[in-house]
Amino acid sequence: MKDLAYLNKFFYKYRWRLIPGVLFVIISNIFTVLRAPVIRIAFDLVTENIGVYQLFSGFNRQAMIYEIFGSSLILFGVLVFVLALISGLFTFFMRQTIILVSRLIEYDLKNEIYNHYQALSLAFYRRNSTGDLMNRVTEDVSRVRMYLGPGIMYTINTVVLFILVIYFMLTINVRLAVFSVLPLPILAVIIYYVNNVIHFRSEKIQERLSGLSSFVQENFSGIRIMKSYVREGSVRQKFALESEDYKTHSMALVKVQASFYPLMLLLVGLSNVITIFIGGIEVMKGTITAGNIAEFIVYLNLLTFPVMALGWVT
């Protein structure tokens, strides 16, 4: 975090773009979470009206009840659609502010590094390879941009959504809320463990990419000499070895990620199973309604992408 503190000056520079971005995150999540109570009311309406509809079986009023029931469901469907539309609109504004700022900071960083390169001595350039220095301006700055844009955006989004969802869950039923989020601490431990593995392997990939860039740059710079001495074959073999080394390290990281995301989804799915089981018991006790179970499932599914995003940010 000490190294990342260097970027704080850019956050301050673009603060009037970032602050609206954070507000858009909060507003977008509020409209996203509001869909769950609407779905709960709709579910409860279905349960109640089916009973009323069957009660008036054989009477003329049954058709009228059916019509009112159908109109109500359409109204709730439209309301869910409108909430999703508003949430999507503010999500667009969120991306247009936070992601845009990351691009502006990337532009500033590249110019800053290039200006710094011009001020360095010739001795520095004799000690460091050109390909490695090029990698700093291109690949490394791109990684910093991913932290500044999507990294920060998804982190804020996850924190805000978690707070809203957990609050709504606790107001409905504390017991069900506790059991529903039970697998999430396990998920936090897995993320912490995998984070160390991903960090180590990512470092290795960056090192290999830097070496590959240096190798290519040096060979293209000295292409005339290489061709004069008919060294194409040996250079091709060396490049194949460098590429193979980079591929090996990349595949090692991919293997970790390949098991990580399904494991996260499994734990979120386990939360759904627990919600249905415990929720069913609470419905039989009469403490909650069937609509509340549907509401809880919506809340848990809302947490699926943020949990995946949290793993990606890590």
Q: Which DSSP state fits 140?
A: I
Closest listed residue to residue 105, CA positions, set 211, 237, 17, 193: 17
Tokens matching residue 99: 């992601």
Tokens matching residue 132: 């490695």
CA distance 306 to 181: 14
Mean pLDDT of 307-314: 71
pLDDT of 53: 65
Tokens matching residue 115: 């200006």
Please answer whether residues 205 and 253 qualify as being in contact, where contact means their C-beta atoms are separated by less than 8 angstroms: yes
Closest listed residue to residue 207, CA positions, set 140, 109, 141: 140
For domain 7-313, is the CATH number 3.30.450.40? no
DSSP one-letter string for 11-45: HHHTHHHHHHHHHHHHHHHHHHHTHHHHHHHHHHH
Give CA separation, 292 vs 14, 72, 168, 236, 266, in Å.
43, 19, 11, 64, 23
Report the 10 Å Cβ neighbour count for 265: 13
Please answer whether residues 173 and 288 qualify as being in contact, where contact means their C-beta atoms are separated by less than 8 angstroms: yes
pLDDT of 59: 66
Whether 13 shows a pLDDT value over 80: the answer reads yes
Angle between the N-to-C axes of helices 304-313 and 183-221, in degrees from 0 to 180, rounded to the nearest 10: 40
pTM for the model: 0.73
CA distance 254 to 248: 10
Confidence of residue 100 (pLDDT cuts 50, 70, 90): very high
Whether 58 shows a pLDDT value over 70: the answer reads no
Please answer whether residues 83 and 38 qualify as being in contact, where contact means their C-beta atoms are separated by less than 8 angstroms: yes
Alpha helix ranges (H) inside the chain: 8-13, 15-33, 35-55, 61-119, 122-127, 130-135, 141-146, 152-172, 174-180, 183-221, 223-228, 232-285, 290-302, 304-313
pLDDT in tens, 273-302: 888 899 999 889 888 888 899 899 999 888
pLDDT in tens, 112-150: 999 999 999 999 998 888 777 888 888 889 888 988 888
* Higher local confidence (pLDDT), 314 or 5: 5
Residue 57 falls in which region: left (phi positive, over 0), alpha (psi -120 to 50) or beta? beta
Mean pLDDT of 68-86: 88
